[in-house]
Structures are given as structure tokens and as C-alpha cells.
Structure 1
Amino acid sequence: MLKVALPMTFAAAAGVSLVVQQALNANLRTALNSAVWSGFTSYAVGVLCMLLLALALREPVPSLSVVSRVPLWAWSGGIFGAIFIGLGIMLIPQIGTATFFVLLVAGQMLGALVFDHFGLLGVPVHPISFVRLVGAALLVCGVVLIRW
């Protein structure tokens, strides 16, 4: 039970951390009067934290031969993180945190179903089933209820 409960607790905590991050970024945007500098600051602090974690864990820097073998598209994850942060900074003051995140989760769920079904970007294939579609539909219903 603990083998599953602990990772699920950490995943839920990661979700809460996203809410905190976006609320802080939206507040920083207001204080700086700049969405761009708010997003930049978020990434700069994040890079510093990852550097400190790498040093604390004594992670070796990947060799040039390893880096050169990584496909170009694999380096693009930060682009999507920047889209997430930028949209959160812009939209949370307009639509609210709950609406932003419920729509975010709905989009993640629908995207995850498509990625799983087709095995996009190398994820294991998990075909769409009736139960999974009902779960996604219930999530969309939750979106409507939260926004109501």
C-alpha cells in the first residue's frame, strides 16, 4: 500500500506546487508589471534549484557524446513549460486559479488519452477504452461545475 500511496501523495503535492507557482507568478507579474520578467524569474529560480539539486546528488554532467546522441526534439520540453508558465501568468488574473487549473487538468487528461492511445513521443500504448472515455467526460463535467 505504501509503495503506491507515497508516489500518489507526491504527485498530488506536485499538483499543489503548480497552483502555488502560478499564483506566485501572477502576483510577481503584477508587482513587476511584466509577464515576461515574471516568467523569466520563475525559470531562473527553477534553474538554480535544479543546479543545487544536481550538485547535492552529485549528478555527473552528461558527456558531449551522450548529448550529441539526443534527438533535437527531446530538448524542446522547456518550450512547453514556458507556454504553461506564460499562459498561467496571463490567464489566472482573468479567469481565476480554479478555472485555469481545472481546464489545464482537462486538457492534460484529453492529451494524455491521445498520447497513450497512439504511443506518441515514445510513451507506452494504452488504447482508449470506454471507462477511460467516461473518466475524461466526468472530468469535463467537473470543469463545467467549477466554472459555473
Structure 2
Amino acid sequence: MSNPQTSKTEKTVVIPLLVLATVLAGMLGPMQSAVNGQVGKLLGDGNASAVVSFGSGLVVMAIIILARRSTREQFAAIPRKMKAHRLPWWNWFAGCCGAVIVFSEGATASILGVATFQTTLISGMVISGLICDRLGIGVPVKQPFNFARIMGALLAIAATVLVVLPNWSAPKVIVLAVLPFLGGLLAGWQPAGNSAVAEETGSMLVSITWNFIVGFSILGIMLIVRIMMGTATFHLPTVWWMYLGGPLGLLSIALMALLVRGLGLLLLGLASTAGQLIGSILIDLLIPQLGAQVYMVTILGALVALIGAGVAMIPSAKKRIDVNELSN
């Protein structure tokens, strides 16, 4: 028989450690944005940068999938499962969302700065999460709008306005900030689609690989068409760390999948969001070579985005508890 006091003590020690690990894992997102932003700056093309990032991630996933017979068979079954039409077609194309986010990293992160990029992205994700919950996308129970949820969305919008304030006199920069915000708005669809594909194929690894294939194919076709039209050129980066964008994203996904078991979705979401925002500000502050300036309103905007995410998530947690209680 376990001692309740011992169990409580272990939880008091373990949970903070898991939260810290999640904050650190959340910092991988800004690192990915910084890498892809520099690739985009070097190649002079966000589309080309996104192809490099998706390509490197796809190579890693292909090695993982091909190493096991079970995942090879699950992956080979995808065409048959698509023809069966048991899943709504849009689930198979959730990789489009990742393509938009990675494209925006290459096109805007080096200009906006990692902190501004991440804040606008997260703000879009907060609003996306509320809309997806309301429409029942990726969740078992639709969750209506309430005061806390609306307040979270308003704080997300306020955070976006704050981080772009220093560039208010530069319309081009404001327009660029729309890209990560749009990527964030689409982000609510991606986990729902990936989860559905994982359930259909029986493997999250297969789902992630398919996600990379879709994103890489769309971005690759776009780049090839542009090259044929003479509006783009392409050459591979010569610096090794510029191929780390895809693997960093994969590592982040893997760590979150492990950490969610010990923390739950609410704490995981808050801790990872904090990690993204803290990491992005640190990158801009500690690596001046990236050319991004951190203003006080940038830090304030990041803080507002974190508060907005927290306010928006709390009702979801309560709703999940109610649903669990009813099912017991």
C-alpha cells in the first residue's frame, strides 16, 4: 500500500522538474525560427528556406520509419486508407499548416526578430484554439465562448499590436507580421488532422512523416514553378547548422509528447508557451548578429501573450475535468 504523503512529496518534486523541462523544450521553437530565418536570409527566399527545413526533417523521419517493419507497413497502407474515405479529406492535408508556419519563418523571422515572430504566432494560435474548440475541431466536446475565452483572444490581439508597435511606421514590416499570425490561426487545424491520421494509420510516427511529406511537396512544387518562371533561384546552404530547422521541430514534438503524460495539456501548454516566449527574447538579446532589437514593448507583448494563453486555456481544463467526471 502506497503512502499518500510520500506520493504527494514525489509529485511536489517531479511536477516542477517537468515544468522546467517543458519550458526548455518550448525554447526549441524559437531556435527553429532563428535557424529558418537565417536560411531564408541567406537564400533570399522564404519558400526555399521552408523546403530546406521540411527536407531535413523528412530525411530524419524517413530513416525512423524505414528502420521498423511495422511503421513501413503502416505507411504503405496510407493510399488504401485514403481511398476508403473513412477520414474527412482535409485531415490528410494538415501538413499545409506547418508549411505556412515554416514558410513564414524563412520569410519574416530574420526581419521581425524571433521574439516578435513567436509572439504573433502564439497570438494566432490562441485565437485558433478558441475557434477550433467552439467548432469542435479536434476535441470531443464543443466549448462555447465565455468571458475568459474572449478575454484570452483580446489579450492575444493586444500582444500582437504591442510587438509590432516599434515598426508601426514601416508598413512592410507590419505586413510581414501578418504571415506568422496567419500561421498561428491555421495551427489549430494541424494537431487535429495529425491526430486523426495517427489514429487511422495506428502510428503517430507515420502521421508526422506524412505531415512532412505534404508540407515538403506543396513547398517544393511552389519553388519549382517559381524557378521555371524565372522568379526564384535555389542553392543548398553550405553551413551545417542551417539544416537543423526540421530536426529541431521534430525534437520539440517528441519531447512534448513525452512530457504531456506527466503534466497534462493545461500545464504543458502554459509551460511550452512560456518557453517559446522566454527563448525568443533570449535569442534576440544574446545573439545580436541576428540583427533583431528587443524593445520594452516586445517583452510586454510577450508577457501579454502568455497571460492571454493562460486565460484562454483555463476554461478548457475545467471543461475536461467536468467531462471526465461525467464519464466515470
* TM-score using structure 1 length: 0.78
> How big is the shift at 1:110?
0.6
* Ranges of 4+ aligned residues in structure 1 off by more than 6 Å: none
Q: Which amino acid aligns with 2:74?
A: V
Asked if 1:16 corresponds to 2:27, the answer is: yes
Quickly say closer, same or farther: Cα 1:43–1:123, change in 2 above 3 A: same
Q: Which structure is larger by alpha-carbon Rg, 1 or 2?
A: 2
1:114 paired residue among 89, 110, 131: 131
CA drift of 1:3 comes to 7.7
Shift of 1:22: 1.4
User: Is residue 76 from structure 1 mapped to residue 76 from structure 2 by the alignment?
Assistant: no
Indicate conservation of the 8 Å contact 1:99/1:147, yes or no. Answer: no
1:130 aligns with 2:147: yes
Q: 1:115 to 1:101 in 2, by over 3 A?
A: same
The 1-side partners of 2:16 and 2:139 are apart by 21
The 1:31–1:126 alpha-carbon spacing in structure 2 relative to 1, beyond 3 Å, is: same
Q: What are structure 1's unaligned runs of at least 5 residues?
A: none
- 1:146 equivalent in structure 2: 298
The answer for the alignment partner of 2:44 in structure 1 is 33
Contact 2:126 2:152 in 1 (8 A): no
- Say if 1:35 and 1:137 are closer, same or farther in 2 by CA, change over 3 A: closer
Q: What amino acid is the match of 1:123?
A: V
**Which has the larger displacement, 71-80 or 55-64?**
55-64
* Helix, strand or coil at the partner of 2:144: coil
- Report 1 or 2 for greater relative contact order, CA contacts < 8 Å, sequence distance ≥ 6: 2
- In the TM superposition, residue 71 of structure 1 has moved relative to its aligned partner by 3.3
Question: Cα distance 1:133–1:9, how it changes in 2: closer, same or farther (>3 A)?
Answer: farther
Query: Structure 2 vs 1, CA of residues 138 and 50 (structure 1 numbering), >3 Å: closer, same or farther?
Result: same
Deviation for aligned residue 1:56? 5.0
Which one of the candidate residues 75, 80, 87 is aligned to 1:65? 80
Partner deviation per Cα, 1:66-87 (whole Å, 9 max, x = no partner): 2323432112112111111111
Secondary structure of 2:74's counterpart equals coil
Question: Deviation of residue 14 (structure 1)?
Answer: 5.0
TM-aligned CA distance change 1:137 to 1:101, over 3 Å: same
CA distance in 2, matches of 1:117, 1:142: 22
**Backbone CA RMSD of aligned residues:** 2.9
Q: What one-letter code is carried by the residue in structure 2 that aligns with 1:67?
A: M
Shift of 1:18: 2.0
Q: TM-score, normalised by structure 2?
A: 0.39
Matches of 2:104 and 2:127, distance apart in 1: 18
Report the equivalent of 1:104: 121
* Secondary structure of the corresponding residue to residue 94 of structure 2: helix
Counterpart of 1:42, as a letter, is: S
Aligned equivalent of 1:44: 55
* Structure 2: 5+ residue stretches without partners: 1-10, 163-296, 301-328
Provide, for residues 10-61 of structure 1, a one-character-per-residue CA deviation record: whole Å limited to 9, x for no partner.
4x45532221111101111222333222111100111112223334565233
Aligned pairs for 1:77-96 (under 5 A) are 77-96=94-113
C-alpha displacement at 1:5, in angstroms?
A: 7.1
Paired-residue identity, %: 25
Relative distance call for 1:37 and 1:146 in structure 2 (3 A) is same
Structure 1 CA distance for aligned equivalents of residues 19 and 299 of structure 2:
30
Tell me whether 110-119 or 53-62 shows the greater mean CA deviation.
Answer: 53-62
